[in-house]
Each structure stands twice: as structure tokens, then as C-alpha cells.
């Protein structure tokens, strides 16, 4: 794990009624979608497109989430995304999920992203634009 985490994105995501499950709260799989949305927004801000048409792209190789409290509809979640020291081909990211207007941490998580040559399936060097953000 990286020694330092840098806040790289904070985004607001409305909770949809369909995000809830039979227990009346946001289904645990949706938390991963919220983290994914933050990650894609950040990647797009950095000029990386998440598309099968690109020769190189970011791929998640590991993801985790710890759930502290259920989120209920209606709400807007705030996802804070942090990045750590980049590797040769990868970047570790961490997430905090809060509900707008509250100080409570509802969940946190992590994901390791590896840049991949999408034609060969082999890892590729981290883009210089991403690496420069952590120098």
C-alpha cells in the first residue's frame, strides 16, 4: 500500500430508486458502480478514454469495499477518490463514500488499475499524463 494518498476527485452521484434491494437500501454491488463512476470521470478528465477502440486502456485487477452503514433512497452520495504512488504499469486508488449533508463514512474501498495493451492482453506503461499527477 502506498504511504501517501492524494485526493484526485470528489463527485456527487444521485441515488436512484432502482439502486435499492429487497432490504430497502442500496444494494452492495451498487457501491462498486459508484466507485467505478468516479474512476471513469477521473480517467476522462485525464484524457484517458475507457473504450475497446483504444489500443491501451485501464483495467481493474482487484477491487474491494467495506460497508459501514446502509445508504437509502433518496440521497446523493459523494465519492472521494484518492490515488497513490504509481507503479510502472499500475495505479492504486482508494474511495470514500459519504451521503451529502452528513459527516458519516458509509463505505470505503480500493481498486488497483493496470494499463493494458488491449490487443495483446499484456500490461503497458502507465501514461505519462497520469504519472505526472503524482510527481
CATH architecture group of domain 6-132: Roll (3.10)
Q: Using an 8 Å Cβ cutoff, are 109 and 94 in contact? A: yes
Question: How far is 50 from 102, CA to CA, in rounded Å?
Answer: 32
Predicted local confidence at residue 1, as pLDDT:
38
Per-residue pLDDT at 27: 97
pLDDT of residue 15: 98
CB 33 within 8 A of CB 79: no
Q: Three-state DSSP class for 83?
A: strand
Whether residue 101 has a cis bond before it, omega within 30° of 0: no
* pLDDT over 70 at 52, yes or no: yes
Amino acid at each position: 500500500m502506498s504511504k501517501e494518498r492524494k485526493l484526485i476527485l470528489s463527485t456527487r452521484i444521485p441515488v436512484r430508486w432502482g439502486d435499492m434491494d429487497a432490504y430497502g437500501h442500496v444494494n452492495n454491488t451498487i457501491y462498486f458502480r459508484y466507485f467505478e463512476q468516479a474512476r471513469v470521470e477521473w480517467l476522462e478528465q485525464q484524457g484517458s478514454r475507457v473504450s475497446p477502440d483504444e489500443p491501451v486502456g485501464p483495467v481493474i485487477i482487484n477491487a474491494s469495499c467495506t460497508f459501514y452503514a446502509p445508504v437509502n433512497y433518496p440521497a446523493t452520495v459523494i465519492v472521494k477518490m484518492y490515488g497513490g504512488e504509481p507503479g510502472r504499469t499500475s495505479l492504486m486508488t482508494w474511495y470514500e463514500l459519504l451521503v451529502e449533508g452528513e459527516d458519516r463514512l458509509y463505505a470505503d474501498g480500493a481498486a488497483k488499475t493496470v494499463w493494458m495493451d488491449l490487443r495483446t492482453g499484456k500490461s503497458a506503461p502507465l501514461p505519462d499524463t497520469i504519472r505526472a499527477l503524482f510527481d
